[in-house]
Amino acid sequence: MKTKKMLLIVIIVAVLGVSWLLAIRTASGIEVIKEQRNLVKEADELAARKIYVRAIDLYKEALAQDSKLTTEIQAKLLVSYQGYEDMNSYVKLVEQRNLAGTATEEEYWNAAAYYARRSKWSEAVTLLKAGIEKTGSQYLADYLEEIRYPYKAKVTRYQQILPSADNSRMAAFDGVKWGYIDGGGSDVLDFIYDSATPYGSGGFAVVSIDGTYYAILSNGDWYGADDGTTYDRMTDVLGVSGKRILGKRGDTYSYYDYDFAPIAENYQFDRMSGNACGVAAVSKGGKWGIIKDSGETVVDYILEDVAVNSLGNAFAGNRAMVKENGAWYLVDTEGNRVSENSYADAKAPESDGYIAVADATGRWGYIDREGNMVIDYQYSDAKSFSNHLGAVKSVNEWGYISEKNKMIIEENYEDAMPFHNGIAQAKLTDSVALLTLKYFEE
């Protein structure tokens, strides 16, 4: 009887021991890993025979439970997705591995290339940036530079197109009259004007017909007329800055409203820029100064010159290029020199990007907004960066480079304007081409 009891106790202990061992094995994932290895082995054999459809199912079954083998199995699954040409699933898994921090350089490249082939530029750029951050790969950085500026060029029938911050209405000249076109180059307002300005942020532009200036709405309706009824007619209009017309009446320029009535009669200038960043450049007696929007003087009339950009403004990105004592300097909106570096020549900033400057030999390069040299003097001409691209001229023709000094748009143009809101105007022999970035960052 005692023997039977002892035997029963031994059996119970053995069962408990086995259960305990099984629990340990399960808790440690040993059985999971063993099962995964078996599934992976079978999947590997199928993948080697290019029977990807079955291999993929087995890899996915193995991934149903997470373990230390998960990353390795995912990598094998990615190879089978490629073999099976299921790049949609490949990309989804790479995105998942990106979040987990396990994606490889090659995986980032393959997924970004897939996005690029389908013109999903934003997705490609975002993924590459993540890959560069996590892997430090120069290979990915070079590829990002290669694909991040896709563009299309459309040759138009126009001889001139004026840059505009809002590309929904761009003033264009057809060789006889001015009109307005949209960002795609299609006519939006008839070509009936003798002159035309870009639209300002207030939604108005100024055009002239038979010697009379008119303020027009976005649909072309006349809003105000400078017809001599109340004031002498203007002799020139520089453009529209915000809600103000920059016009010349008599011998000087000043600010006017959309009825061509003076806004600030005490402020009369020989020349003036548009207001941007809260300030404007103005000229009197052959010298330039800087004033705030309120009219308060920031820099008195001591400057020899101030560069003005393609939008008619001296300032962009809170910086301007001014000339004093024969040299050009970078200044902020308070008129303070950002650095003591000086330049033989300079172009106005177009954005908060790199600024074109020249040395005494006439070669052009670029500085950043702190005055640091970022692209050495090497071009025969250049214009400041906007939308991360800068127009440059090596010998006789213009093209566009990136911030890494890589030629993005080949030098095929007689002239090239800066990009604004993803669109630039480039001059051909008999017409202007509209260059449109398919992807760009503000």
Rounded CA-CA distance 46/54 in Å is 7
Residue 344 lies in a domain: no
pLDDT reported for residue 34: 93
pLDDT above 50: residue 18:
no
Domain's final residue, options 246, 268, 290? 268
- Kindly state the tokens that stand for 231: 């004031």
The residue among 217 and 28 whose pLDDT is bigger is 217
Residue 90 lies in a domain: no
- Kindly state the tokens that stand for 252: 């000087």
pLDDT band of residue 165 (cuts 50, 70, 90) is: confident
CB atoms within 10 A of CB 223: 14
Give me the count of residues in the chain.
442
Residue 253 lies in a domain: yes
Residue 251 lies in a domain: yes
Same structural domain, 71 and 111: no
3-state secondary structure of 304: coil
pLDDT above 70: residue 176:
yes
Whole-number mean pLDDT of the chain? 92
Q: Please give the average per-residue pLDDT across 373-389, as a whole number.
A: 97
Same structural domain, 203 and 254: yes
Q: Please give the average per-residue pLDDT across 206-215, as a whole number.
A: 97
pLDDT reported for residue 166: 82
Domain that holds residue 23: 15-85
Domain's final residue, options 208, 236, 268? 268
Contact 283, 271 (CB under 8 A): yes
Same structural domain, 80 and 105: no
Rounded CA-CA distance 197/240 in Å is 7
Handedness of CA 210, 211, 214, 220 (dihedral sign): positive
**What backbone phi and psi angles, to 5 degrees, belong to 2?**
-65, -35
Same structural domain, 200 and 264: yes
**Residue 232: which residues within 8 A CB-CB, separation 6 or more?**
249, 250
Contact 214, 226 (CB under 8 A): yes
> If 0-12 CB within 10 Å is exposed, 13-18 middle and 19+ buried, where does residue 201 land?
exposed
Residue 411 lies in a domain: no
- Nearest CA to 392 among 430, 369, 366, 360? 366
pLDDT reported for residue 333: 98
**Residue 355: which residues within 8 A CB-CB, separation 6 or more?**
319, 321, 330, 346, 347, 348, 349, 366, 367, 368, 369, 384, 385
Residue 381 lies in a domain: no
Instruction: Summarize pLDDT for 295-347 with one digit per residue, the tens.
Output: 999 999 999 999 999 999 999 999 999 999 999 999 999 999 999 999 999 99
Same structural domain, 199 and 255: yes
Instruction: Name the one residue in this structure whose structure tokens are 């024969």.
Output: 326
pLDDT reported for residue 243: 87
**Residue 333: which residues within 8 A CB-CB, separation 6 or more?**
277, 278, 279, 290, 298, 315, 318, 320
Q: Please give the average per-residue pLDDT across 207-212, as a whole number.
A: 97
Residue 198 lies in a domain: yes
Q: Please give the average per-residue pLDDT across 100-110, as a whole number.
A: 97
Q: Please give the average per-residue pLDDT across 183-195, as a whole number.
A: 96
Strands (E), 341-397: 345-346, 355-358, 364-367, 373-379, 381-382, 389-393
Residue 427 lies in a domain: no
Rounded CA-CA distance 214/229 in Å is 13
For residue 319, give the DSSP letter.
B
pLDDT reported for residue 230: 92
Same structural domain, 80 and 107: no
pLDDT band of residue 3 (cuts 50, 70, 90) is: low
Q: Please give the average per-residue pLDDT across 389-415, as a whole number.
A: 95
Domain's final residue, options 111, 132, 148? 148
Same structural domain, 79 and 112: no
Instruction: Summarize pLDDT for 20-71 with one digit per residue, the tens.
Output: 433 444 445 788 899 999 999 999 999 999 999 999 999 999 999 999 999 9
Q: Please give the average per-residue pLDDT across 101-122, as a whole number.
A: 96
Count of domains forming the chain = 3
Q: Please give the average per-residue pLDDT across 210-238, as a whole number.
A: 96
Instruction: Summarize pLDDT for 244-287 with one digit per residue, the tens.
Output: 999 999 999 999 999 999 999 999 999 999 999 999 999 999 99
CB atoms within 10 A of CB 248: 19
Strand partners, 407: 401
Same structural domain, 198 and 264: yes
**Residue 224: which residues within 8 A CB-CB, separation 6 or more?**
214, 215, 257, 258, 259, 260
**What backbone phi and psi angles, to 5 degrees, belong to 177?**
-135, 165
The residue among 14 and 320 whose pLDDT is bigger is 320
pLDDT reported for residue 216: 98
> If 0-12 CB within 10 Å is exposed, 13-18 middle and 19+ buried, where does residue 106 land?
middle
